[in-house]
Amino acid sequence: MSSSALGRGLESLIPTDFIIEEQFDPTAKSGDDIGKNLEVKLSDIEPNEHQPRMNFKEGPMADLVESIRVHGVIQPVVISPKPGGGYNLIAGERRWRASNFLKLDTIPAIIRTPNDQQKLELALVENVQREDLGPLETATAYVKLHQQFNLSYEQVAEKVGKALSTVLNAIRLLNLPADAKQALYDKRISEGHARVLAGMNAFPEAQKELLGHILDEGWSVRQAEQFSVVTKSQDKSKQAAKTEEVFKFRQEAVTKLKNKLNTEVELKPRSKGGRLVIDYRDDEELARIVSSIG
């Protein structure tokens, strides 16, 4: 994926030439050492704790292992020094894993000192450029940027070069029930199916039924959308019928009170409960009303 496809937000945050811009060795004794290719021991590198990818596919990994076996690691990984020694991996975990599988001693590396937020952002960029993260992994990364680094979702969208609606729709998938999440992770349902299911969180029984139709009968996204529309339409009809029933009950109650007390009565509903206003002209009428109630 080209850098332009990532959006201007990411480009303003991380230069497109980040990987080749400069190679920095914090242990260098003189300026002459800056800019040299570095070989770092694999045993000195720990994987990035902020890596959003949870699933490293066996097929692509096998291809990468064979490529490194034949050609070596062509593109350096990006690492940052740890305070107690060694390095944290920022970008290039697939290359690092493949090199470990091949039991290589060292790997070409560029040493950087980005903060944790940049670590996550760089890991996101690398995975978007090479092989898309799964929907749940992407959503988790968005939430992590929001919660751990105090970014609004508008800022998250800007940084990853996505529309705000895209980010919010992705995050909604995290509210799916466990069985739907697992089906999405296993790719037994598509992201389109998952979005429809996420829109039915208010109808858990119908949501479960829909998941069954998708898994057992191979329903398309279009069929799932039609099921959702019908479910929500039926719910609106039920709500409308309930509202009409409540309105009718209240009107009948007011009419009975008016006839019983022989005066004006007004009902003022609130979100919970309400007020009942009974009119009277003077103390004598008030006494009559009280007597009627008694």
Neighbours of 182 (CB within 10 A): 13
CA 230, 234, 237, 241: dihedral to nearest 10 degrees? Answer: 170
Compute the distance between CA of residue 264 and CA of residue 281 in angstroms, rounded to an integer. 10
> What one-character-per-residue DSSP string does 18-56 give?
HHHH----TT-SSGGGTT--EEEEGGGEE--TT------
Given a contact cutoff of 8 angstroms between Cβ atoms, the answer to whether 52 and 39 are in contact is: no
Q: Which is nearest to 170 in space by CA: 205, 200, 134, 202?
A: 134
Task: Check 93, 121, 126, 158 and give the catalytic one.
Answer: 93
Tell me the C-alpha to C-alpha distance, in Å, between residue 187 and each of 136, 183, 197.
11, 6, 14
Catalytic-residue membership of 93: yes
What 192-201 contacts at long range (C-beta under 8 Å, 24+ apart), as own/partner pairs, is 192/221, 192/224, 193/219, 193/221, 193/224, 194/135, 195/169, 196/221, 196/224, 196/225, 196/228, 197/224, 198/172, 198/173, 199/172, 199/228, 200/228, 200/231, 200/232, 201/175, 201/176
Structure tokens at 248: 């009718």
- Which residues are the active-site residues? 93
